[in-house]
Structure 1
Amino acid sequence: MCRHIAWVAAREVPLGELLVAPEHGLYRQAWAPRRQRYGTVNADGFGVGWYAAGDPVPARYRRAGPLWADLSFTDLARVVRSRAVLAAVRDATAPGADAEAAAAPFASGPWLFSHNGAVGGWPGSLAAPAAGLPPEELLAMEARNDSALVWALLLHRLRRGEALARALAATVREVAAAAPVSRLNLLVMDGSTIAASTWGDSLWYLAGSGRVVVASEPYDDRPGWCEVPDRTLLTATAAGVTSLSDLSEPAHVRRASADPLEESPA
């Protein structure tokens, strides 16, 4: 599994204020997450994406190693400010050679994306959905892991003009239909709106003071954190959470009674 976090705010916030400074922030979650159900250490890469004022295309900083081993990150996080951020630490499903290219956030145009979970039966289970993508989009994938293909499926919908939340919900259902035993907690944002899914792991949000934070787990113990029910689609802007809707799969998608992914964290 992984841990991820996104926020949108009315004012610019230093990255370190929400990633490094909190007692249980993403920086600490790299080695000591409190609510991670699968896996224990997120040392297989990390990344942060942020939007600069006046620029709709986000910048990214990603590395293949553990967050705590990057001696430059805390200094970067101290001075970089943004109203919209998505960051993640990674626990890989399987060994790979894609280095930082496999670390979230993935990006294209105005969008940032992260996947907390794993696709059951990867890679064969997604052969059919992958076959529906244009060859040039498959060849342009940043990495060869399950998260990168889930991102390619979502990105295809976004490029066709589907709204953020609609595209996310459709992608979750498509992947769950092809690979029923999957964990699909996804985050996607466009600089002003966050869309997130819960599907097999924890998700929380904190709203107020002109910002909304959506995260795998709370970064502190203050009152106000709300847990999002499983199989829910959440959307949020700086003004607050705008919707929480049922993301349950169609009737033909079965629910597994056991989780064979449990020994293979992503």
Structure 2
Amino acid sequence: MCRHVAYLGPEVSLGTVLVEPPHGLFRQSWAPRRQRYGTVNADGFGVGWYADGDPVPGRYRRAGPIWGDLSFTDLARVVRTGALLAAVRDATVPGADQEAAAAPYAGGPWLFSHNGAVAGWPGSLAPLTGGLPAVEILSMEARNDSAFVWALVLNRLRAGDEEGQALADTVLEVARAAPGSRLNLLLTSGDSITATAWGDTLWYLARPGRGTVVASEPYDDDPHWVEVPDRTLLVADRTDVLLTPLKEPEETGRPGAGPVPVPPKESPA
């Protein structure tokens, strides 16, 4: 369910990442090439981006399909940024919330997206509500599984966890409570990209001097795209990408802690 993408690098227009590539997120809304679950992502879309001098990102979200928004391609043509996160949505369960349910979600300097679905939602995650302050639950942007997963991640970030630890611990907590969930999470602060591959596809493209892209699937046929193995944490900045296996809790002691880094394949300039 859903497709998402994050970019970090030299300043470009939104359209350079989302619209212009032959298989970019715009086209993935109706013709994804590697989506394992669902076929059309028409239940909303959104993009968040960072402007120079402002650590809090702006967002543009809509409840309908991206191809039905006549203003979006114009916006994408002229807005420029060095960091963005965008998603097109295929709802797990059709319902309320409209635009509020469309990623990216936001909190402070962070943007977040979830590609996947929580098995047995909402009952499966009811026991996890006790670990969240009441204000976090009452402040959720939407009433879906992705918004609740974001609340879990954001609570850890606000408590001081590093971004990779926050994603890894959340994935393993949700996977224990709801086995069979698909939990590809994507997070950016404007200075880094953090993601998990857990049950669905994830790829990255790192080009020296041209930035880093992390996406559900490649947006073109560049041979330097690298597929991220399942059950992996990815952490990237403008120059480096680090892959770390995600271990089950009983294998590591503390969820998400202690794995051995796996160096990514090098991409020539």
Query: For this structure pair, what is the TM-score category when the shorter chain's length is used for normalisation?
Result: over 0.9
Distance in 2 separating the partners of 1:164 and 1:52? 21
Corresponding position of 1:221: 221
Letter in 2 for 1:90: R
Displacement over 4 Å in runs of 4+ = none
Distance in 2 separating the partners of 1:85 and 1:54? 15
Structure 2: 5+ residue runs without aligned partners?
Answer: 252-269
- Deviation at 1:209? 3.8
Corresponding position of 2:254: none
Distance in 1 separating the partners of 2:128 and 2:60? 30
- Deviation at 1:78? 0.3
Letter in 2 for 1:84: A
Distance in 2 separating the partners of 1:249 and 1:38? 24
- Deviation at 1:85? 0.3
Deviations 1:123-154 (A, max 9, x none): 01101111211111100000000000000000
Corresponding position of 2:142: 143
Distance in 2 separating the partners of 1:79 and 1:209? 25
Determine if the alignment matches structure 1 residue 202 to structure 2 residue 167: no
Corresponding position of 1:183: 182
Letter in 2 for 1:95: P
Number of matched pairs: 250
The answer on whether the counterparts of 1:204 and 1:215 sit within 8 Å (CA) in structure 2 is yes
Corresponding position of 2:5: 5
3-state DSSP of counterpart to 2:54: coil
RMSD of aligned alpha carbons: 0.9
What is the TM-score when the length of structure 2 is the normalising length?
0.92
- Deviation at 1:223? 1.2
Whose relative contact order is higher, 1 or 2, with alpha carbons under 8 Å and at least 6 apart?
1
The answer on whether the counterparts of 1:198 and 1:228 sit within 8 Å (CA) in structure 2 is yes
- Deviation at 1:181? 1.1
3-state DSSP of counterpart to 1:126: helix
What is the TM-score when the length of structure 1 is the normalising length?
0.93
Give the alignment of 1:42-191 within 5 angstroms: 42-191=41-190
Deviations 1:57-79 (A, max 9, x none): 00000000000000000000000
Which sits farther off after the overlay, 43-52 or 127-136? 127-136
Distance in 1 separating the partners of 2:217 and 2:174? 24
Distance in 1 separating the partners of 2:65 and 2:247? 34
Distance in 1 separating the partners of 2:134 and 2:250? 31
Deviations 1:170-211 (A, max 9, x none): 111110111111000000111101100000000000001420
The answer on whether the counterparts of 2:7 and 2:17 sit within 8 Å (CA) in structure 1 is no
